[in-house]
C-alpha cells in the first residue's frame, strides 16, 4: 500500500509495531475548527448510529465505520496517555487521523491489522513493591475503543446485575 508522506508511513507502520513519549498535551479537536457545532453534530450522529440495534453479521463493518473510528479516536485523545512501544504520541496520531482512519479501516476489514507490543512500566505500590502497568500503542488503544463502543451495548445488558468488574458506572 502506498503512503502519502513519510510521517503517514511511520504512523501506519504503528499498526504492526509500537516507543515512549507523552506529556501534558492539549485535548485536540478532531472535528475541525468550528468545534462546538460540529462536535455536537457528530455526537448526535453517533448516538443515532448506536441507537440502531447491531446486526451481528455486520459487526466488523460497524466497528470500522468512519463515524465509530472518529468517535473512538476522540475518546482516546481525550484520555491522553503515554505512547506505547512505537513512540507515537496521542497528538501525532490525532494530527494524521484523516489519513489513518481509511488505512486503519482497510487493515481491519482485510484482517491484516496486528496489534503492537505493549510497553511495560513499573509503578511503586504504597505498601512497598511495584505494580506492572502495560501501555499499548495509541493505535491499539484506538482499535480497542472502537470495538468496545460496538460490543458493550450488545453484551452489557446480558451480564448479571451483581457483575461489576470493568463495567461502565460500576465500581468494585
**Eight-state DSSP code of residue 159:** S
Tell me the C-alpha distance between 104 and 1, whole Å.
Answer: 12
**Eight-state DSSP code of residue 14:** T
Tell me the C-alpha distance between 105 and 107, whole Å.
Answer: 6
Q: Phi-psi category of 127—alpha, beta or left, where left has phi over 0 and alpha has psi -120 to 50?
A: alpha
| Each residue's pLDDT tens digit, 101-111 | 999 999 999 99
The better pLDDT of the pair 86, 46 is held by 86
120: β partners: 134
What's the average model confidence in pLDDT over 29-41?
45
pLDDT band at 52 (very low <50, low <70, confident <90, very high): low
pTM (2 decimals)? Answer: 0.68
The better pLDDT of the pair 95, 154 is held by 95
Amino acid at each position: 500500500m502506498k503512503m502519502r508522506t513519510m510521517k503517514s508511513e511511520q504512523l501506519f507502520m504503528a499498526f504492526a509495531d509500537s516507543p515512549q513519549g507523552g506529556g501534558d498535551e492539549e485535548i485536540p479537536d478532531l472535528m475541525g475548527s468550528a468545534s462546538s457545532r460540529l462536535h455536537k453534530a457528530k455526537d448526535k450522529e453517533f448516538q443515532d448510529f448506536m441507537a440502531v440495534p447491531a446486526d451481528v453479521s455486520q459487526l466488523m463493518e460497524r466497528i470500522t465505520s468512519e463515524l465509530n473510528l472518529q468517535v473512538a479516536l476522540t475518546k482516546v485523545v481525550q484520555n491522553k496517555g503515554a505512547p506505547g512501544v512505537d513512540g507515537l504520541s496521542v497528538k501525532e496520531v490525532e494530527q494524521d487521523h484523516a489519513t489513518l482512519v481509511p488505512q486503519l479501516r482497510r487493515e481491519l476489514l482485510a484482517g491484516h491489522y496486528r496489534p503492537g507490543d505493549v510497553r511495560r512500566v513499573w509503578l511503586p505500590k504504597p505498601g512497598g513493591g511495584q505494580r506492572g502497568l502495560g501501555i499499548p500503542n495509541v493505535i491499539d488503544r484506538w482499535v480497542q475503543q472502537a470495538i468496545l463502543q460496538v460490543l458493550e451495548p450488545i453484551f452489557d445488558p446480558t451480564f448479571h446485575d451483581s457483575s461489576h468488574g470493568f463495567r461502565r458506572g460500576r465500581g468494585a
